[in-house]
Amino acid sequence: MTNKLYDTSLSLLTDLYQITMAYGYWKSGTAEKEAVFNLYFRKHPFSGGFTIACGLTNVIGYINNFSLSKKDLRYLRTLTGNDGQPLFEEAFLDYLANLKLTCDIEAIPEGTVVFPNEPLVRVRGPILQCQLLETPLLNLINFESLVATKAARLRLVAENDTLLEFGLRRAQGIDGGMTASRAAYIGGCDATSNVLAGKLYDIPVRGTHAHSWVMSFADELEAFQTYADVLPNNVTLLVDTYDTLQGVRNAIEAGRTLVQKGYKLAGIRLDSGDLAYLSIEARKLLDEAGFTDTAIVASNDLDETIINSLKQQGAKINIWGVGTKLVTAYDQPALGGVYKLAALRQESISPDEESGWDYKMKLSEQAIKISTPGIQQVRRFRNERGFVADMIVDENSLNDTDSTTSMTMIDPLDFTKRRTFDAKQEFDDLLVPVFRRGTCVYTSPDIHSIRARVQEQLANLHPGVKRFVNPHTYPVGLEKQLHELKTELILKLRERNEQ
Ligand SMILES: Nc1ncnc2c1ncn2[C@@H]1O[C@H](COP(=O)(O)OP(=O)(O)OP(=O)(O)O)[C@@H](O)[C@H]1O
Ligand SMILES: O=P(O)(O)OC[C@H]1O[C@H](OP(=O)(O)OP(=O)(O)O)[C@H](O)[C@@H]1O
Ligand SMILES: O=C(O)c1cccnc1
pLDDT digits (tens, 9 = 90+) for 287-298: 999 999 999 999
Per-residue confidence band for 364, with pLDDT thresholds at 50, 70 and 90: confident
Nearest ligand to the CA of 205 is 3
Mean pLDDT of 97-102: 97
Q: How many Å lie between the centroid of ligand 2 and the Cα of residue 488? A: 56
Q: What are the boundaries of each domain within the chain?
A: 16-146+335-498, 149-327
Please report the pLDDT score of residue 171 as a whole number: 98
Q: Letter for the amino acid at 229?
A: D
CB 57 within 8 A of CB 443: no
313 lines ligand 1 (CB under 6 A): yes
Intrachain domains 16-146+335-498 and 149-327 with the same fold: no
User: Whole-angstrom Cα distance, residue 165 to residue 326?
Assistant: 8
Nearest CA among 423, 431, 337 for reference residue 378: 431
Where does 161-293 have alpha helices with state H?
173-187, 195-201, 211-215, 220-230, 244-260, 275-288
Q: Is the pLDDT of residue 271 over 60?
A: yes
User: Whole-angstrom Cα distance, residue 11 to residue 73?
Assistant: 10
Q: Measured from the CA of 300, which atom of ligand 1 is nearest?
A: 31
User: Whole-angstrom Cα distance, residue 329 to residue 192?
Assistant: 16
Q: How many Å lie between the centroid of ligand 2 and the Cα of residue 268? A: 15
Mean pLDDT of 253-268: 98
User: Whole-angstrom Cα distance, residue 100 to residue 95?
Assistant: 10
Q: Is the pLDDT of residue 353 over 80?
A: no
Per-residue confidence band for 1, with pLDDT thresholds at 50, 70 and 90: very low
User: Whole-angstrom Cα distance, residue 132 to residue 130?
Assistant: 6
Q: Is the pLDDT of residue 450 over 70?
A: yes
**CATH number assigned to the domain covering 16-146+335-498:** 3.20.140.10
Q: Is the pLDDT of residue 7 over 60?
A: no
Pocket test for ligand 1, best of 243, 272, 281, 325 (most atoms within 8 A of CB): 272
Q: Measured from the CA of 297, which atom of ligand 3 is nearest?
A: 3
CB 75 within 8 A of CB 403: no
Please report the pLDDT score of residue 23 as a whole number: 98
Please report the pLDDT score of residue 348 as a whole number: 76
**CATH number assigned to the domain covering 149-327:** 3.20.20.70
Please report the pLDDT score of residue 434 as a whole number: 98
pLDDT tens digit string along 302-320?
999 999 999 999 999 999 9
Dump the DSSP string for 292-326: TT-EEEE-SS--HHHHHHHHHTT----EEEE-HHH
Please report the pLDDT score of residue 400 as a whole number: 72
